[in-house]
């Protein structure tokens, strides 16, 4: 590659001039002249528009090609250059354990294998790449299609991920799991510790929509925080993972409909902390769950709320949970709706 050999102290000025003249090649990297450290070598295009090339010497040296910065840089070696140049490539993908899940449109789907291979090349710890075809059925699991798997590795969707520093098995094709609730889980841990300190004893905790247990894992890993624990889910596959992920001496783990728990006398009025993580149905399910909570116990839940319905939802929650109930927007869910968190203490 052609380089302009310039005195070190003039580098910045000459770079500015070359930039203004669009005479720098893509990804140009200035380097010190190996034969004289008082000089710098600036990469340049072949036909310089100005006479600057006449003032300084031009040298032709071999350079290592710059290392790829994103998976898209690997596509150049996997697909014809006109396809790479003319296609709009996905800019986002999700990591779940050693998997990548990526959404593709119809055009991108034709090059799914190359996208998968490029992602494997870019991310050395990733085992397999799947196209995410969206959320399906009542358990909100992902419809996944294999794009690429590393040689000699299994193309399974079962994977181990880390939740707030704890290892958790999951499978996005059979159970719901979202890494996006990381901060909510941290905050739940903080609130549980505050409640434990207030009560002066370990808490009885109920998470009837526990999924694979990401909210509970940080709680049970905290010494003396959780006494008795109920973890449930209606999805049998999630319950299998709960049994694998949660090791706690006083845990009851069941595959059951959360709305039916109130009919079991041993569970009524028992829990200091109730988690309600079923955002599409939380407000509708709440009346069935409240009987499980001990007086002054804490209810923490998440709900998807249309922005235009926020005030009405807040009033409804206050009617259900008492005037101190707090409803807060946590993040955007869609163009018109947000994921909100509610919290309340059960009235005396
Ligand atoms: C949004 S996910 C939350 C999972 C988990 N708490 C988390 O944070 O990842 C809701 C869970 O509720 C389960 N579910 C749906 N309807 C249910 C019901 N009626 N009773 C118990 N679990 C239910 C689903 O299978 C799913 O695992």
CA of 213 to the centre of ligand 1 (A): 10
Average pLDDT of the segment spanning 320-347? 95
Per the structure, the complete domain to which residue 299 belongs is given by 182-345
Average pLDDT of the segment spanning 104-129? 97
In a domain, 89, yes or no: yes
CA-wise closest residue to 216 among 168, 256, 266: 168
pLDDT at 50: 78
Between 34 and 72, whose confidence is greater?
Answer: 72
State the maximum Cα–Cα separation within the chain, in Å, rounded to a whole number. Answer: 92
Let me know: does 289 contact 278? Beta carbons within 8 Å: no
Average pLDDT of the segment spanning 258-262? 98
pTM (2 decimals)? 0.81
What does 213-258 look like in DSSP terms, one character per residue? Answer: STTHHHHHTSTTTEEEEEEEES-HHHHHHHHHH---TTEEEEE--G
Distance, CA of 98 to CA of 157 (rounded, Å): 9
Tens digits of per-residue pLDDT, 278-316?
Answer: 999 999 999 999 999 999 999 999 999 999 999 999 999
- Closest C-alpha residue for ligand 1 atom 23: 234
Is 257's pLDDT higher than 80?
yes
Terminal alpha carbon distance of the chain: 78
Average pLDDT of the segment spanning 38-63? 86
Please indicate, yes or no, whether residues 219 and 299 belong to a single structural domain of this protein: yes
Distance, CA of 203 to CA of 256 (rounded, Å): 22
Is 255's pLDDT higher than 70?
yes
In a domain, 175, yes or no: no
Nearest atom, ligand 1, residue 285 CA:
19
Is 177's pLDDT higher than 70?
yes
Is 21's pLDDT higher than 70?
yes
CA of 104 to the centre of ligand 1 (A): 27
Choosing from 176, 257, 273, 288 the residue with most ligand 1 atoms within 8 A of its CB, the one to mutate for a pocket test is 176
Please indicate, yes or no, whether residues 197 and 151 belong to a single structural domain of this protein: no
Please indicate, yes or no, whether residues 292 and 201 belong to a single structural domain of this protein: yes
Average pLDDT of the segment spanning 92-105? 96
CA of 38 to the centre of ligand 1 (A): 65
Query: In the chain, what are the helix, strand and coil shares in percent, each to the nearest 5?
Result: 35, 30, 35
Cα–Cα distances in angstroms (integers) from residue 103 to residues 71, 113, 132, 260, in the given order: 15, 13, 5, 37
Nearest atom, ligand 1, residue 181 CA:
8
Average pLDDT of the segment spanning 205-224? 97
Pocket of ligand 1 (CB under 6 A): 139, 176-178, 181, 208-211, 214-215, 232-235, 238, 257-259, 277-279
224: left (phi over 0), alpha (psi -120 to 50) or beta: left
pLDDT at 63: 78
Please indicate, yes or no, whether residues 219 and 148 belong to a single structural domain of this protein: no
Please indicate, yes or no, whether residues 210 and 148 belong to a single structural domain of this protein: no
Q: State how beta strands 159-163 and 166-170 pair.
A: antiparallel
- Closest C-alpha residue for ligand 1 atom 18: 257
- Tokens 């808490």 identify what position? 203
The CATH number covering residue 112 comes to 3.30.300.110
Indicate the number of domains in the chain: 3
Nearest atom, ligand 1, residue 258 CA:
20
Please indicate, yes or no, whether residues 257 and 137 belong to a single structural domain of this protein: no
The band of 121, judged by pLDDT with boundaries at 50, 70 and 90, is very high
Please indicate, yes or no, whether residues 84 and 54 belong to a single structural domain of this protein: no
């Amino acid at each position: 590659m052609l380089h302009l050999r310039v005195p070190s102290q003039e580098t910045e000025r000459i770079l500015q001039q070359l930039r203004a003249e669009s005479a720098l090649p893509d990804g140009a990297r200035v380097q010190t002249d190996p034969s004289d450290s008082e000089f710098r070598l600036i990469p340049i295009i072949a036909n310089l528009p100005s006479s600057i090339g006449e003032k300084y010497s031009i040298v032709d040296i071999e350079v290592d090609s710059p290392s790829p910065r994103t998976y898209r840089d690997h596509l150049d070696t996997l697909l014809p250059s006109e396809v790479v140049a003319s296609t709009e490539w996905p800019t986002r993908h999700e990591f779940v354990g050693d998997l990548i899940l990526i959404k593709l449109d119809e055009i991108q789907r034709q090059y799914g294998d190359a996208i998968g291979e490029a992602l494997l090349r870019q991310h050395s710890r990733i085992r397999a790449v799947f196209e995410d075809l969206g959320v399906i059925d009542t358990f909100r699991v992902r419809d996944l299609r294999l794009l690429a798997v590393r040689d000699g590795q299994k193309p399974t969707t079962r994977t181990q991920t880390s939740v707030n520093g704890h290892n958790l098995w999951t499978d996005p094709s059979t159970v719901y799991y979202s890494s996006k609730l990381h901060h909510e889980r941290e905050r739940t841990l903080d609130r549980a510790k505050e409640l434990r300190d207030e009560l002066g004893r370990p808490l009885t905790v109920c998470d009837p929509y526990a999924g694979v247990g990401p909210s509970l894992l940080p709680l049970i890993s905290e010494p003396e925080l959780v006494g008795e624990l109920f973890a449930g889910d209606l999805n049998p596959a999630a319950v299998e993972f709960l049994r694998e992920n949660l090791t706690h001496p006083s845990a009851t783990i069941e595959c059951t409909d959360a709305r039916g728990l109130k009919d079991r006398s041993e569970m009524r009025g028992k829990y200091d902390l109730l988690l309600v993580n079923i955002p599409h149905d939380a407000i509708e399910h709440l009346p069935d769950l409240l009987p499980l909570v001990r007086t002054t116990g804490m209810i923490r839940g998440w709900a998807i709320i249309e922005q235009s319905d926020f005030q009405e939802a807040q009033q409804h929650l206050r009617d259900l949970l008492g005037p101190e109930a707090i409803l807060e927007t946590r993040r955007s869910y869609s163009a018109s709706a947000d994921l909100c968190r509610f919290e309340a203490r059960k009235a005396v």
